[in-house]
Amino acid sequence: MNETRIGIEQAMAVEGGTQEVGAQEAQVVTAIAPAQPSKLKMTLAEVRAKLDGKSGKRYWKSLDELADTPAFQELMQEEFPRQASAGEWVDSVSRRGFLKVMGASFALAGLAGCTKQPEEPIFPYVKQPEDLVLGKPMYFATAHPFPTGAIPVLVKSDAFRPIKLEGNPEHPIAKGKSDAFTQASLLDLYDPDRSQFPRFRGEQADFSRFQQEFAKAVAASKTGDGVVFLSETITSPTLAAQWKQVQAKYPQAKLVQYEPVNNDAGRAASKAAFGDYYDTQYKLEDADVILALDADFLGGIGFPGFLPMSAAWAERHRFDKDKPMNRLYAVETMPTVTGFKAEHRLALKPSEIDQFANALAGGNSTLSNPEAQKFLSVVMEDIKKSGGRFAIVVGPSSSQAAHFAALTVNAGLGAVGKTVFYTETVASIPSEHVSDLKALVADMNAGKVEWLVMLGVNPLYNAPVDLNFEDAFNKVPHRVHLGSHVDETGFYSTWHINKSHYLESWTDARAYDGTISIVQPMIEPLYGGKSAHDVLQTLIDPQVSAYQLVLANAKTYIKAPGGDTAKTVAANVPAPAATGAGNSAAADAAARAALGVARATTPFEMAWRKALHDGWVADTAFVPKTLGAPKGGVTTPASAGSGIEISFRPDPSLYDGRYGNNGWLQELPKQVTNMSWDNAALMNMDLMGKLGIEENEAIELTLNGRKIITPVLMAPGHPNDAVTVHLGLGRRAECGRVGAGVGFNAYALRTSGQPLSAGGLMIARGKGSYDLCVTKVHNIEHRGAFAQRDLEHPEFDTQGTYSLAGHEAMERSIIRYATYEEAMKNPDFAHLGTKDSNDTLVNKVGYNPQGEAVPHDDSFYPDNWRYDHVMEVAAGKVLQNKWGMSIDLNSCVGCNACIVSCYAENNIAVVGREQVKIGRIMQWMRIDTYFEGDLHAPIAHFQPMLCQHCESAGCEQVCPVGATVHTPEGINTMVYNRCVGTRYCSNNCPYKVRRFNFLLYSDYDTESLKLMRNPDVTVRSRGVMEKCSYCIQRIEAVKIEADKNNRAIADGEILTACQQACPTDAIVFGNLNDPKSRVVKRKAEERDYQVLADLNYRPRTTYTAGVINPNAELA
Partner 1 sequence: MAQVFDRSSNALARASLVLSGLIVIALGVALNSLQRSPWVTRQGQRPDQPVPFSHKHHVEGLGLQCQYCHTSVEKSSYAGIPPTKTCMNCHSQIWTNANLLEPVRQSWATGASLQWIKVHDLPDFVYFNHEIHVNKGIGCASCHGRVDEMPLMYMQNSLQMEWCLNCHRNPAVNLRPTAEIYNMAWTGPSSDKPVWCSATGAVGPTAQQVACVETDPAASNPEMAQMSQPAELSKSAALDKAQTVADVSPAVVMPANYVKFTSQDELGHYLMKQYHIRTANELSSCEVCHR
By CB under 8 A, name the binding residues for partner 1: 110-111, 113-114, 116-117, 119-128, 131, 133-136, 865, 869, 871-875, 880, 965, 967-969, 971, 973, 975-977, 1016-1018, 1029, 1032-1033, 1036, 1040-1041, 1043-1046
Backbone angles phi, psi at 964, to 5 degrees: -125, 115
Q: Smallest gap, in angstroms, from Cβ of residue 867 to partner 1? A: 12
Which lies closer to partner 1 via its Cβ, residue 572 or residue 1033? 1033
Nearest Cα neighbor of 922 from 997, 862, 856, 985 is: 997
Q: Smallest gap, in angstroms, from Cβ of residue 170 to partner 1? A: 18
Which residues, including other chains, have CB under 8 Å from residue 794's CB and lie 6 or more apart? Answer: 800
Burial state string for 190-205 with b = 16 or more CB within 10 A and e = fewer than 16? bbbbbbebbbbeeeeb
Q: How far from 916 is each of 172, 220, 997, CA to CA, in Å? A: 38, 56, 12
Which lies closer to partner 1 via its Cβ, residue 489 or residue 907? 907
Is residue 38 exposed (0-12), middle (13-18) or buried (19+ Cβ within 10 Å)?
exposed
Which lies closer to partner 1 via its Cβ, residue 35 or residue 1038? 1038
DSSP E strand boundaries for 820-921: 834-835, 841-842, 870-873, 876-879, 883-888
Q: Smallest gap, in angstroms, from Cβ of residue 955 to partner 1? A: 14
Which residues, including other chains, have CB under 8 Å from residue 602's CB and lie 6 or more apart? Answer: 560, 565
> Do 504 and 521 contact (CB within 8 A), yes or no?
yes
How many C-beta atoms lie closer than 10 Å to residue 93's C-beta?
13
Which lies closer to partner 1 via its Cβ, residue 120 or residue 320? 120
Which lies closer to partner 1 via its Cβ, residue 158 or residue 352? 158
DSSP E strand boundaries for 704-813: 706-714, 722-727, 757-764
Q: Smallest gap, in angstroms, from Cβ of residue 942 to partner 1? A: 29
Q: Dihedral sign, CA of 90, 93, 95, 101?
A: negative
Q: Smallest gap, in angstroms, from Cβ of residue 591 to partner 1? A: 23
Which lies closer to partner 1 via its Cβ, residue 252 or residue 1046? 1046
Which lies closer to partner 1 via its Cβ, residue 105 or residue 468? 105
Q: Smallest gap, in angstroms, from Cβ of residue 100 to partner 1? A: 22
Q: Kindly report whether the peptide bond that precedes residue 34 is cis, defined as omega within 30 degrees of 0.
A: yes
Q: What is the DSSP string of 980-1036?
A: ----HHHHT-TT---EE-SS--S-SS-HHHHHHS-TTS----TT-EE---SSHHHHH
Which lies closer to partner 1 via its Cβ, residue 322 or residue 872? 872
Amino acid 487 reads D
The helix or strand, by DSSP H or E, that contains position 280, with its residue range, turns out to be: strand 279-282
Distance CA 313, CA 307 (A): 10
Q: What is the DSSP string of 701-715?
A: EEETTEEEEEEEEE-
Q: Smallest gap, in angstroms, from Cβ of residue 827 to partner 1? A: 37
Q: Smallest gap, in angstroms, from Cβ of residue 950 to partner 1? A: 16
Q: Smallest gap, in angstroms, from Cβ of residue 780 to partner 1? A: 31
Q: Smallest gap, in angstroms, from Cβ of residue 1012 to partner 1? A: 16
Report the C-alpha dihedral over residues 1005, 1008, 1014, 1015, rounded to 10 degrees.
70
Which lies closer to partner 1 via its Cβ, residue 66 or residue 1032? 1032
Which lies closer to partner 1 via its Cβ, residue 375 or residue 867? 867
Which lies closer to partner 1 via its Cβ, residue 346 or residue 1032? 1032
Which lies closer to partner 1 via its Cβ, residue 848 or residue 973? 973
Cα distance between the two ends of the chain? 49
Which lies closer to partner 1 via its Cβ, residue 141 or residue 1095? 141
Q: Dihedral sign, CA of 218, 222, 228, 232?
A: positive
The helix or strand, by DSSP H or E, that contains position 469, with its residue range, turns out to be: helix 469-474
Which lies closer to partner 1 via its Cβ, residue 272 or residue 878? 878
Q: Smallest gap, in angstroms, from Cβ of residue 1051 to partner 1? A: 19
Q: Smallest gap, in angstroms, from Cβ of residue 1073 to partner 1? A: 14
Q: What is the DSSP string of 405-436?
A: HHHHHHHHTT-BTTTEEEE--SSSS---HHHH
Which residues, including other chains, have CB under 8 Å from residue 156's CB and lie 6 or more apart? Answer: 137, 138, 139, 162, 163, 164, 165, 166
Q: Smallest gap, in angstroms, from Cβ of residue 584 to partner 1? A: 22
Amino acid 329 reads Y
Which lies closer to partner 1 via its Cβ, residue 307 or residue 1032? 1032
> Do 149 and 512 contact (CB within 8 A), yes or no?
yes
> Do 333 and 348 contact (CB within 8 A), yes or no?
yes
Which lies closer to partner 1 via its Cβ, residue 116 or residue 793? 116
The SS3 assignment for 550 reads: helix
Nearest Cα neighbor of 1056 from 1047, 1045, 1068 is: 1068
Q: Smallest gap, in angstroms, from Cβ of residue 1021 to partner 1? A: 10
The SS3 assignment for 305 reads: coil
Q: How many CA atoms lie within 13 A of 942 on its CB side?
A: 30
Q: Smallest gap, in angstroms, from Cβ of residue 128 to partner 1? A: 4
Q: Smallest gap, in angstroms, from Cβ of residue 137 to partner 1? A: 10
Which lies closer to partner 1 via its Cβ, residue 528 or residue 968? 968
Q: Smallest gap, in angstroms, from Cβ of residue 1042 to partner 1? A: 10
Q: Smallest gap, in angstroms, from Cβ of residue 424 to partner 1? A: 39
Largest Cα span, the chain: 91
Distance CA 408, CA 635 (A): 9
The SS3 assignment for 390 reads: strand
> Do 142 and 615 contact (CB within 8 A), yes or no?
yes
Which lies closer to partner 1 via its Cβ, residue 126 or residue 220? 126
The SS3 assignment for 466 reads: helix
